[in-house]
């Protein structure tokens, strides 16, 4: 089950859970919007409800128990007959309703059935329920699209980084021997020097009027490379490589990756909209 979500329908918070590829909406939460005493068992004993549930299960559930369903249908509507959601599921092997326990316990229904249940709250409530659910799905679709585009762009960038063989001016500059031999107690500064050519303190001394630090003013390309350098540095530390050798290797890596970025038009997609 994926992370639960909620929608607000006319002031009522309603939980939605994911089971497989299907959304199930909390009927228990929906009941809070109903005036007067009303229970899910009251809805289930209605003959029209049973007929609707039977049709839905016939379409979507190949393992539906029609024998037990026939018994429930024959008793539906009688004054002395009641059935809970849990009993309905156990008797008929239904999949449209879910009776759950725990933190998000209660009765949940597949969205098709939940929309039908919404009519029992009120016609207005059903319309707002459908509208808010649609808004949620639209937001999810947009988020998935953005995430997919971002991942696709990163994949192209990484491919470019590993295959590019550009022969242009190197950025950042190769470190001097003095820079390579210098001791950097702070590993963060080791990365700063490998990528930017200066330590954080040196940058602050050069830019006394600017707020923040050197990384706050880095380009998105530099930040991606910096993230890559952090992972590489951690690996080199575990391998026991000296700081002198690490900074030289990290600087070389930064040069290769920044060369690729500078000629890769795909990175433009990562820029924030103006």
Mean pLDDT by 10 residues, the chain (274 residues): 78 91 93 81 90 92 94 88 92 92 81 91 90 90 74 57 39 72 74 88 90 82 82 82 88 86 53 41
CA triple 33-130-1, angle to 5 deg:
85
What's the pLDDT at 185? 62
Residues in the chain, total:
274
Record the pTM.
0.53
CA angle 212, 217, 220 (to 5 degrees): 135
Residues 137 and 171 in one domain: no
pLDDT digits over 193-217, tens only?
Answer: 898 888 888 999 999 988 888 888 8
Structural domain contains residue 154: no
Q: Do 47 and 95 reside in the same domain of the chain? A: yes
Same domain, 129 and 18: yes
For residues 11 and 119, state if they share a domain. Answer: yes
According to the model, what pLDDT value does residue 104 have? 65
In this prediction, residue 69 carries a pLDDT of: 93
122, 15: one domain: yes
Say which DSSP state 97 is in: E
Q: Same domain, yes or no, for 15 and 138?
A: yes
The pLDDT value given to residue 117: 93
Instruction: Examine the domain organization and report whether 135 and 220 are in the same domain.
Output: no
Determine the number of helices (DSSP H) and then strands (DSSP E) in the chain: 12, 5
Distances in Å between the Cα of 154 and the Cα atoms of 132, 144, 146, 217, 274 are 33, 15, 12, 21, 21
| 94 lies in the same domain as 198 | no
Question: In this structure, what token pair is assigned to residue 232?
Answer: 């590489």
Q: Tell me, yes or no, whether 211 and 241 share the same domain.
A: yes
Q: Per DSSP, what are the bridge partners of residue 109?
A: 25, 97
Nearest to 108 by CA among 30, 41, 44, 39: 30
d(CA 99, CA 273): 45
Q: Is residue 74 part of a domain?
A: yes
Helix (H) or strand (E) holding 111: helix 111-121
Locate 143 and state its tokens. Answer: 């988020």
Pairing of strands 22-26, 106-110: antiparallel
**Would residue 156 count as lying in a domain?**
no
Which of 142, 176, 204 terminates a domain? The answer is 142
* Distances 161 to 86, 89, 152, 157, 233 between C-alpha atoms, Å: 56, 55, 14, 6, 18
The total number of structural domains that make up the chain:
2
| Beta-bridge partner residues of 113 | none
User: Which one, of 271, 262, 230, lies nearest residue 161 by Cα?
Assistant: 262
94 in the same domain as 41: yes
Q: Which of 82, 111, 142 is the last residue of a domain?
A: 142
Q: Which pLDDT value is given to residue 269?
A: 44
Give pLDDT, residue 164: 44
Q: Rounded to an integer, what distance in angstroms lies between the CA atom of residue 107 and that of residue 123?
A: 21
């Amino acid at each position: 089950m994926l992370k639960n979500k909620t929608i607000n329908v006319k002031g009522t918070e309603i939980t939605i859970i994911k089971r497989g590829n299907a959304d199930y909406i909390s009927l228990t939460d929906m009941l809070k919007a109903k005036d007067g005493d009303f229970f899910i068992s009251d809805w289930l004993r209605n003959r029209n409800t049973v007929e609707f549930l039977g049709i839905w299960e016939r379409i979507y559930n190949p393992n539906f128990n029609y024998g037990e369903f026939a018994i429930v249908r024959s008793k539906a509507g009688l004054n002395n007959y009641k059935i809970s959601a849990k009993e309905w599921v156990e008797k008929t092997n239904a999949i449209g309703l879910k009776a759950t326990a725990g933190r998000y316990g209660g009765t949940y229904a597949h969205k098709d059935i939940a929309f039908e249940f919404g009519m029992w709250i009120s016609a207005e409530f059903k319309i707002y329920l459908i509208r808010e659910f649609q808004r949620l799905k639209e937001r999810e679709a947009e988020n998935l699209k953005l995430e997919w585009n971002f991942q696709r762009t990163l994949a192209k960038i990484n491919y470019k980084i590993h295959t590019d063989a550009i022969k242009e001016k190197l950025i950042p500059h190769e470190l001097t021997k003095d820079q390579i031999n210098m001791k950097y107690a702070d590993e963060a500064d080791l990365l700063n020097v490998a990528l930017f050519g200066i330590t954080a303190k040196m940058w602050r001394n050069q830019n006394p009027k600017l707020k923040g630090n050197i990384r706050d003013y880095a380009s998105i390309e530099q930040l991606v490379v910096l993230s890559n350098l952090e992972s590489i540095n951690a690996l080199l530390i575990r391998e026991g490589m000296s700081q002198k050798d690490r900074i030289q290797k990290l600087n070389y890596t930064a040069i290769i990756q920044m060369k690729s970025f500078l000629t890769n038009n795909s990175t433009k997609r990562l820029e924030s909209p103006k």
